[in-house]
Amino acid sequence: MNNTELQESGFPPIWDNTMRQLAVACPRKLYYFLRGFDYDPSTKPAYFVWGSAWEEIMATWYSASQDILQDPVKRATHAYLSLQMGYQVWDEMNPIEKTLNKRSSFEPIWNAYLDQYPYETWHMIERGAEAGWTFPLVGTPYSLGGAFDGVIEVHEPLHGLMALENKTTGAFITKNYIDSWHFAPQVTGYIWYGRKILGDQFIGALMNLVTKNLPGPRSQWTTPRFARVVVTKTDHQLAEFEEQAAWHINLIKREHWDRWYWPKTLNKDDCCGGIGKAPCLFRPLCFSDVNPADVNHTDCPGVSLREGPWQPWLRWGSQDEE
C-alpha cells in the first residue's frame, strides 16, 4: 500500500513480536514493513529458506502419532517423508546457496537429529502445529498476537502443555546463545498467552535449537549440535512483560504513528549486517534522497508487496493443509 493508504488504515490493533522488534531496531524499517514491503519470494536469501525448510521437517515429523514414531519401520518411513517435505520447500523457493545454507546439509543434520532424539517425552497436540493466537492487553485497545511453531503435551519429568519453538542458527550453540532465550520477548509472549488461557497447566516453552554447522573429520567442538532449553516465567515476570508491551505499543503510536515520523536506526549493523545479523532488505532505499512517503516497492531490488496484511496470528497449521 502507499503512504496515504497506510495512514487511512489506522494504527494496527494487534501487534506481534516481529512488529515490535522492528520498531526498536529501526522505525523506518517498520514503516516499510507496514506498507507491505517484503522479500520477493524468488529472491529470499538462503538462510531464510533453510529455516523455513527445517521448520517444515519439524512440523511433518511431530505431526505423526506416537505409534508411528515408536515403530522402527514406520518411524524410518516418516523420517524420510519429513525430509522430503523440507526439500520441497527448498526446491520451490530455489535460493542461491551460500556458506552453511545448502540443500546438501539437510540430510546429515536430520540424521544426526534423529540419533540425538530417538524418543521424546512429549507429543504435539492435535492441530497444534503453527497455531496462531491473540489476546487483549488489559486497559488498552490493543492485543498481542503471534503463532506457535507447535503446542506440545509434556509427559515427564513435568506434565502439562508447552509452546514448542524451533530455532536454527549459523553460529555455535554456546552457553550465551542458550541463555539468551530466557530473555526473548517472543518466547515470553508465548508463555504469557498460554497462562492467560490455561493457567498453571501451561508450563512454559521448549526451545529446540539446531546449528547448521557441520563438523569436519577433525572437528573438536566444545558446543553441542543440538540443544533444548525449557523457559519458564513467574507471575511477576509475566505481569512485567504485559505492562511493558502496553507501554511500548503506546510509545510507537505516540512517537511514530501520531507524528508520522519514522527515523532510521542508529546502528549500522542493522543496515548492513554483522555477526549473526542479516543486512536490511530496505537498505538501498536509505541511500536515496527520495522521501520515504514517495517510495514505491519497485524502487528497491528484491522487494515485492506482501500478499495481504501481516497477520501470523491467523495461521492454523500445516495439518489443515494436508
* Residue 217 buriedness (CB in 10 A; 0-12 / 13-18 / 19+): exposed
Cβ pair 90, 101 in contact under 8 A: no
Q: Supply the pTM of this predicted model.
A: 0.92
Cα 219 → chain centroid: 30
Cβ pair 123, 152 in contact under 8 A: yes
Domain ranges of the chain: 3-34+256-311, 40-119, 124-233
E strands of 212-297, at which residues? 226-231
Q: What is the pLDDT of residue 50?
A: 97
CATH class held by domain 124-233: alpha beta
Cβ pair 206, 226 in contact under 8 A: no
Q: What is the pLDDT of residue 317?
A: 53
Spell 82-101 as b/e; 16+ CB within 10 A means b.
bbebbeebbeebebeeeebb
Q: Split the chain (322 residues) into runs of 10 and give each run's mean pLDDT.
A: 95 97 96 94 90 95 88 95 97 92 97 94 83 94 95 87 95 95 97 96 97 86 93 97 97 98 93 83 89 91 89 68 30
Q: What is the pLDDT of residue 236?
A: 98
Q: What is the pLDDT of residue 143?
A: 98
CA distance 6 to 23: 16
Provide CB contacts within 8 A for 59, sequence distance 6+. Answer: 85, 129, 130, 149, 150, 317, 318
